[in-house]
């Protein structure tokens, strides 16, 4: 089987959220190229990958998202 690209951890963070929160531009780009990626998935606090990148000042990740 295939891994769920939008799988969430115990606080509803997706792989894209985690990559954005770590300013991992390469992984963000890789995930954005995948069919079915949910770019606006919210974590348990209501944050999206874009909002967490913006709050942390990760400009390159914000631009990608």
Residue 23 CB: number of other CB atoms within 10 A?
17
Domain architecture of the chain: domains with CATH = 15-64 (1.25.40.20)
pTM reported for the whole predicted model? 0.95
pLDDT tens for each residue of the chain, 65 residues long: 788 999 999 999 999 999 999 999 999 999 999 999 999 999 999 999 999 999 999 999 999 99
DSSP track, the chain: ----TT---TT---HHHHHHHTT-HHHHHHHHTSTT--TT---TTS--HHHHHHHTT-HHHHHH-
pLDDT of the residue at 1: 74
pLDDT given at position 22: 98
pLDDT value at residue 31: 98
């Amino acid at each position: 089987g295939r891994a769920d690209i939008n799988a969430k951890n115990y606080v509803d963070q997706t792989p894209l959220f985690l990559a954005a929160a770590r300013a991992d531009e390469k992984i963000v780009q890789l995930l954005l190229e995948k069919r079915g990626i949910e770019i606006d998935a919210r974590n348990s606090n209501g944050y999206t990958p874009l909002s967490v990148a913006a709050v942390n000042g990760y400009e390159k990740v914000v631009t990608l998202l």
